[in-house]
Amino acid sequence: MTRKVAIIGAGGFGREVHEIYQACIDGGADIEVLGYVVEAGFGEPGALVNGLPILGDIGWLEAHPESVRTICAIGDPTVRRRIVERCQSASIPFDSVVHPQVVLGRRVTLGQGVVVCAGSVITTDVYVGDHVHVDIGCTLSHDVRIGDLSRLSPGVHVSGNVTIGVGAFVGTGAVILERRSVGEWSITGAGSVVTTDVGADSTVVGVPARRIKQREPGWHLR
């Protein structure tokens, strides 16, 4: 049976997710991508984005709760959390997608709503939580755990025995050394090298990474 999917978000990452689906379809997967779902003000229904129509807002998905799967292609974890929770409240099923050019070990567990982009390598005994984005060219070594709603930007390298908390954002080209933890709802700046644990709700940058900002717990809810 053909898997029908609507992509939430028609921005840069949404268009990249469309390309991942197309690569899967070209490889023989029985998938039909219906179009994009956007929040009000981010596009008019019927407008085409890279050949796919904007279907409407989240209300469109709520009107098709059983026949259409969705995947949230919003990069910001705080916005993604809000949209995912609305979909969950409407019992909308989620899809996951992995580019055919990903190296995925046999002992890797992926949650629902996960996106893994081309060129990434995930080795063994790795857990990737729900609604996580692993962007192009990332590497995840053994015994890594990625919390729900996190995002690994392009070219992030995660060494073995690393834990990344819920909602963490790791910037382009960052490196996380072995046996380190990255706290929930933290931000790791592009090009940073994490040599010590990153606290929850903090922002770190640099080589080695150092904390430059500390937010109050629950900041992401606002």
Residue 139 near residue 157 (C-beta atoms within 8 A): yes
Q: What is the pLDDT of residue 23?
A: 98
Average pLDDT over residues 146-155: 98
Residue 70 confidence (pLDDT) above 80? yes
Mean pLDDT of the chain: 96
Average pLDDT over residues 128-132: 98
Sketch out the chain's domains with CATH numbers. 3-95 (3.40.50.20), 98-211 (2.160.10.10)
Residue 173 near residue 191 (C-beta atoms within 8 A): yes
Average pLDDT over residues 180-189: 98
Residue 43 confidence (pLDDT) above 90? no
Task: Tell me the β-bridge partners of 104.
Answer: 122
Length of the chain measured in residues: 222
Query: What's the pLDDT tens digit per position in 87-115?
Result: 999 999 999 999 999 999 999 999 999 99
Q: Rounded to a whole number, what is the distance in angstroms from the first to the last CA of the chain?
A: 41
Average pLDDT over residues 32-60: 92
Task: Give the pairing of strands 48-49 and 52-56.
Answer: antiparallel
Write the CA distances from 2 to 27, 69, 191, 201, integer angstroms.
14, 11, 41, 41
- pTM of this prediction? 0.95
Residue 25 confidence (pLDDT) above 90? yes
Q: What is the pLDDT of residue 65?
A: 75
Residue 41 confidence (pLDDT) above 90? no
Q: If you search the block for the tokens 């010590």, which residue do you land on?
A: 196
Kindly indicate the confidence band of residue 199, based on its pLDDT and cuts at 50, 70 and 90: very high
